[in-house]
Structure 1
Amino acid sequence: MGEVRVVGIRVEQPANQPVLLLRESEGDRYLPIWIGQTEANAIILEQQGVEPVRPLTHDLFRDVIGALGHSLKEVRIVDLQEGTFYADLVFDSEVRVSARPSDSVAIALRMGVPIYVEDAVLDEAGLLIPDEGDEESGGAVREDEVEKFKEFLDSISPDDFKAG
């Protein structure tokens, strides 16, 4: 199982379908996950540091966890079946709750917990996007990653990830 970080959200055209892009922390593979608009907006708002006037569902969930005296340890993307990803929220005392990866990532960002992906999932759906730049270039890496991701998305469709 490898840790990943959130690169960002891109909207695939012409279908207007948001895609969550994760990248291995200790590797070169990316994991694109097609998600819903609501979850995409929740992830984008959190990445941009925007605090809504009233809590969104993911903020409410974070607050309820804390109010009940529990903590979220990590998020794990654990399976891929027929093009659908599955995730687990792992709480203190090793309690696990199955959840959609998009909701799980939105919650993980709000709670500052790591996100992991099972090796089998990365092996099946992880992608190597050719790297033409030097990763030692600091802040430009993220822009380069996003640009490469945009170019990559222009060449694929969700059907490319269906199990055959």
Structure 2
Amino acid sequence: GIGTVPVGRVETGIIKAGMVVTFAPSNVTTEVKSVEMHHEQLVEGLPGDNVGFNVKNVSVKDIRRGNVASDSKNDPAKEAASFNAQVIVLNHPGQIGAGYAPVLDCHTAHIACKFSELLEKIDRRTGKAIEQAPKFVKSGDACIVKLIPSKPMCVESYSEYPPLGRF
């Protein structure tokens, strides 16, 4: 075989042979040996491209779905122990308070995240805070919540890396 060939979409920047990438949150670092798309060798993968890339000395067991590979030397992705998210409750029976733990789908990760704190309720149209530290939110409400993933997860701020900052 030619080793392990992870597959994914280039979200920002490029990927090309010779780059050293780190997979987060697995924390595995390796060199990219080659990049391909539809079984054709590529000089580089660009945003939007679904590519496979060959990596040496990485077992399939070392990395998993939802990992984010990024340039080790240039602002590499890191796992988030917690993060603040803007959430709109579309359709939910009853009210939601701290402790609620829905499964989030963020890029290709699929992970339960607990609402550890409701920080503020906001106006859906303006984004302005209308209530600090609400006890509960219900259908139709928008809020900022502190989320704690149940297992290591990679997210980035929407302002810096939009594809990795939405779910």
Tell me the TM-score range normalised by the shorter chain. Answer: under 0.3
**Structure whose residues are more often helix by fraction:** 1
In terms of Rg, which structure is larger? 2
TM-score norm. by structure 2 comes to 0.23
Q: Which has the higher contact order (CA 8 A, sep 6+)?
A: 1
TM-score, normalised relative to structure 1: 0.23
